[in-house]
């Protein structure tokens, strides 16, 4: 059998008994960084062959995993922290296994964004996990715009050097909203800082973050479900002149004013 095994996200004790059992019984373990995974395995006195499976060799690793399974060997797949596939390598492996008709299973466990969602105290009845944002600002803002009108709490992963530009773009697209930045989850110095997108996250940025941002208000959801023309007409019906209506609709949607104007030029 092939197992996707969740590993601790910080505290080494956050591993399940089943995960330890699977890793102990595996014939080979595929991991992102063999040096990093060795620390976890040494903590539980697990000595197994380690092979790499990271974003640069995942397709080749999938071929090796299929070959190992074809020989009847037990295979475990882990990432550096948390669940493989979720913002980590493994998705290509899943697709290749499914294409080859090979069964696999999951050994669940620690998860960073779910822990951060709880620590944020923002609504957790409905939420969306959006992972890391695109590198280029234009692509990032277009990506955020797709989710601007959702009344769901939004969860993102972010490296420390990306925090300021992420939150600036979120403010530009979403407007001001409540947010929380969570780091060092399950560790001694676990921290959850509450802030507004308008103000940005204060202080020095250190370590990997989960950003949790509140969803759109009911009125925002209703307006962003309109066409661009209907959106502008909504504000004009309230007494705004066209220029101000275009400006407000563009702000609501997180798009340039000229994009809104070009679609309402005959109003």
Contact 148, 253 (CB under 8 A): yes
The predicted-structure confidence for 145-168, as pLDDT tens digits, reads as follows 889 888 899 999 999 999 999 999
Q: Residue 29 burial by CB count (10 A; 0-12/13-18/19+): exposed, middle or buried? A: buried
The predicted-structure confidence for 32-81, as pLDDT tens digits, reads as follows 999 999 999 999 999 999 999 999 999 999 999 999 999 999 999 999 99
Give how far the C-alpha of residue 181 lies from the chain's centroid of Cα atoms, to the nearest Å.
13
Is residue 62 one of the residues assigned to a domain? yes
Whether the predicted pLDDT of 221 surpasses 60: no
Q: What is the pLDDT of residue 222?
A: 59
Per-residue confidence at 6, pLDDT binned at 50, 70, 90?
A: very high
| Residue 131: half-sphere exposure toward Cβ, Cα within 13 Å | 9
Is residue 221 one of the residues assigned to a domain? no
* Residue where a domain stops, chosen among 85, 107, 129: 107
In this structure, are 97 and 44 located in the same domain?
yes
Q: What is the pLDDT of residue 262?
A: 72
The domain tally of the chain equals 3
Q: Which domain holds residue 36?
A: 2-107
| pTM recorded for the entire structure | 0.80
The predicted-structure confidence for 117-144, as pLDDT tens digits, reads as follows 999 999 999 999 999 999 999 999 999 9
The predicted-structure confidence for 253-263, as pLDDT tens digits, reads as follows 767 777 776 77
In this structure, are 8 and 27 located in the same domain?
yes
Whether the predicted pLDDT of 240 surpasses 90: no
């Amino acid at each position: 059998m092939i197992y996707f095994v969740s590993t601790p996200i910080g505290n080494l004790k956050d591993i399940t008994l089943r995960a330890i059992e699977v890793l102990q019984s595996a014939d080979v373990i595929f991991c992102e960084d063999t040096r990093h995974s060795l620390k976890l395995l040494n903590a539980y006195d697990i000595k197994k062959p380690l092979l790499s499976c990271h974003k640069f060799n995942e397709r080749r690793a999938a071929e090796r995993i299929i070959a190992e399974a074809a020989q009847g060997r037990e295979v475990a797949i882990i990432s550096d922290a948390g669940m493989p596939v979720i913002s980590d390598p493994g998705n290509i492996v899943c697709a290749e296994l499914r294409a080859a008709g090979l069964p696999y299973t999951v050994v669940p466990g620690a998860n960073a964004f779910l822990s951060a969602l709880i620590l944020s105290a923002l609504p957790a009845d409905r939420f969306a996990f959006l992972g890391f944002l695109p590198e280029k600002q234009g692509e990032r803002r277009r990506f955020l715009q797709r989710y601007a009108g959702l009344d769901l709490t939004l969860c993102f992963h972010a490296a420390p050097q990306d925090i300021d530009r992420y939150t600036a773009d979120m403010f530009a697209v979403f407007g001001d909203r409540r947010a929380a930045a969570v780091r060092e989850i399950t560790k001694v110095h676990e921290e959850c800082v509450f802030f507004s997108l308008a103000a940005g996250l204060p202080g020095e940025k250190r370590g990997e973050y989960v950003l949790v941002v509140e969803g759109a208000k009911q009125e925002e959801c209703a307006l962003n479900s309109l066409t661009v023309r209907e959106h502008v007409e909504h504000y004009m019906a309230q007494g705004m002149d066209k220029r101000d209506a275009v400006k407000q609709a563009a702000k609501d949607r997180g798009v340039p004013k000229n994009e809104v104007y070009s679609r309402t030029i005959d109003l």
